[in-house]
Amino acid sequence: MPRKVKFRKQQRGTNKGIAVRGSTISFGEFGLKAVDRVLLTSRQLEAARKAIMHETKRGGKLWIRVFPDKSVSKKAAETRMGSGKSPTDHYACVIKPGKIIFELAGVTEDIAKKAFYKASAKLPVKTKFIKKD
């Protein structure tokens, strides 16, 4: 979650278009690219990161290319409608098709494939494995 924000609550907005920024591999050799659009929570991102680090046995270098900076508010259960907007529940990042979520370097291709396969099981979005050209 972000340390400091200008406004505590955000509107939901729309998630249209495809990712132009962050759609090519910049740092590593292998990447995990999103195929669909989704709001990815910080918990899901952390679970996927842990899966990758466990599979690579903390070898190589991992880059997380997304950051959860969008606040998502949620009303408590059995609350009546109205009475203003609820407080922030968690933070999420907006993922568009074509966005690279993780990059990995310093490991072999089959280890990277296996690690990203395990990480994709933790994410609610369809992904694909890509290599640097």
- Provide the residue-wise pLDDT of the chain in tens; the chain has 133 residues: 889 999 999 999 999 999 999 999 999 999 999 999 999 999 999 999 999 999 999 889 999 999 999 999 999 999 999 999 999 999 999 999 999 999 999 999 999 999 999 999 999 999 999 999 8
Which secondary structure element, helix H or strand E, spans residue 117, and what is its range? helix 109-122
Looking at the whole model, is its pTM more than 0.85? yes
| Sheet (strand 70-73) strand order | 38-41, 88-95, 70-73
Which CATH number is 45's domain given?
A: 3.90.1170.10
Residue 38 lies in a domain: yes
Asked if residue 18 belongs to a domain, the reply is no
In a domain, 120, yes or no: yes
In a domain, 4, yes or no: no
Q: In which domain, by residue range, is 63 found?
A: 34-73+89-131
Q: Is residue 114 part of a domain?
A: yes
d(CA 71, CA 77): 19
Is residue 93, in this structure, part of any structural domain at all?
yes
Beta strands at 70-73 and 30-34: parallel, antiparallel or unpaired: unpaired
Q: Is residue 50 part of a domain?
A: yes
